Amino acid sequence: MLLNYKQQGEGAPLIILHGLLGTMDNWGGQIKVLSQHFQVIAVDLRNHGHSPHSDDMSYALMADDIVELIDHLGFNKVNIIGHSMGGKTAMQLALNHPERIDQLIVVDISPIEYPPHHANVFEGLYSIDLATLTSRNEASKQLAQYVDDHGTRAFLLKNLYRTADNTFAWLMNLDALYNQY
């Protein structure tokens, strides 16, 4: 699956992978700084941002998506920074294709199995009635019943957008993320 990506800067290729429910835009400030030294490729992982959606989702599939992107861009080896789910994807890529990785930085995650801890987030996202929603502020109020922190709500609601017919929809494939979580 060819993922949505954005390139910036020159130098050795550095691919940045976001965490669960994030997008490539989460790394905006860091990309600006890193692109002074690297050719930064920020990626929307499958079922996130503007990348394709699929009911199939696993770390192995996401690692294969990154290999496809590396090939598409014509690189033999890349540097990778992965945060949280992106870090697990990067570790899977390093295990499956060590010859494609020059340097690997994993942020805020370890190669262990974590107990599920996003139930309230998913419950909150599903509680938002997209059909009747009139504003992002209203969505934040609905989500606040499940997610106390304003910053976390703002992060999650970056996935909310207005469609051509002026209704709201999710950028992410919420069903696939929840079902494969």
Q: At what angle do helices 119-127 and 136-143 cross, to 10 degrees?
A: 140
The rounded Cα 91 to chain-centroid distance in angstroms is 15
> Do residues 108 and 84 lie in contact, with contact meaning Cβ atoms separated by under 8 Å?
yes
Residue 24 is which amino acid? Answer: M
The confidence score (pLDDT) of residue 172 equals: 96
Distance CA 95, CA 37 (A): 26
Q: Which residue has the tokens 């079902």?
A: 179
The confidence score (pLDDT) of residue 67 equals: 98
Full set of structural domains in the chain with CATH:
4-107 (3.40.50.1820), 119-180 (no CATH)
Per-residue pLDDT tens digits of the chain, which is 181 residues long: 999 999 999 999 999 999 999 999 999 999 999 999 999 999 999 999 999 999 999 999 999 999 999 999 999 999 999 999 999 999 999 999 999 999 999 999 888 888 878 899 999 999 999 999 999 999 999 999 999 999 999 999 999 999 999 999 999 999 999 998 8
C-beta pairs of 146-150 under 8 Å, 24+ apart in sequence: 146/120, 146/121, 147/120, 147/121
| Pairing status of strand 4-8 against strand 39-44 | antiparallel
Instruction: Give the DSSP per-residue string, 38-94.
Output: SEEEEEE-TTSTTSPP-S---HHHHHHHHHHHHHHHT-S-EEEEEETHHHHHHHHHH
* CB-neighbour burial class of residue 96 (10 A; exposed 0-12, middle 13-18, buried 19+): middle
- Eight-state DSSP code of residue 144: T
Within a 10 A sphere around the Cβ of 62, how many other Cβ atoms?
25
Q: Which residues pair with 101 in a beta bridge?
A: 78
Burial 122-157 (b: 16+ CB within 10 A, else e): bebbeebeeeebeebeebbeebeebbeeeeebebbb
